């Protein structure tokens, strides 16, 4: 059981890294030192389409990663 969970954690870790790299950038020219004004710095837009899917997918993956990590801690303490 422990080895199965450890393998699942490793595979899930790789999938999370890939999912994070697949997420689109918010604003490629968002530089703090840019003189374009501060209104763009605090602007909050709602994610739509692929971006929203990737955010939710990544959040679900991280939840399962934390759950498996917690189970591994519990199993290793016994």
pLDDT value of residue 42: 62
11 within a domain of the structure (yes/no): yes
32 within a domain of the structure (yes/no): no
Enter the tokens of residue 25: 């950038």
30 within a domain of the structure (yes/no): no
Instruction: Look up the domain containing 13 and give its range.
Output: 1-23+49-77
Q: Is the pLDDT of residue 45 over 80?
A: no
Average pLDDT over residues 7-28: 89
70 within a domain of the structure (yes/no): yes
Q: At which residue do the structure tokens 């003189």 appear? A: 35
Average pLDDT over residues 9-24: 94
- Which pLDDT band, with edges at 50, 70 and 90, does 63 fall under? very high
37 within a domain of the structure (yes/no): no
Q: Is the pLDDT of residue 59 over 90?
A: yes
Q: Which class for 10: exposed (0-12), middle (13-18), buried (19 or more C-beta within 10 A)?
A: exposed
Considering its fold, how many domains does the chain have in total? 1
pLDDT value of residue 78: 85
């Amino acid at each position: 059981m422990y080895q199965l969970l450890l393998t699942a954690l490793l595979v899930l870790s790789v999938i999370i890294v890939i999912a994070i790299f697949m997420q689109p950038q918010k604003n490629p020219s968002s530089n703090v030192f840019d003189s374009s004004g501060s209104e763009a710095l605090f602007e909050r837009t709602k994610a739509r389409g692929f971006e929203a899917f990737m955010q939710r997918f990544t959040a679900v993956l991280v939840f399962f990663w934390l759950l498996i990590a917690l189970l591994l801690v519990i199993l290793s303490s016994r």
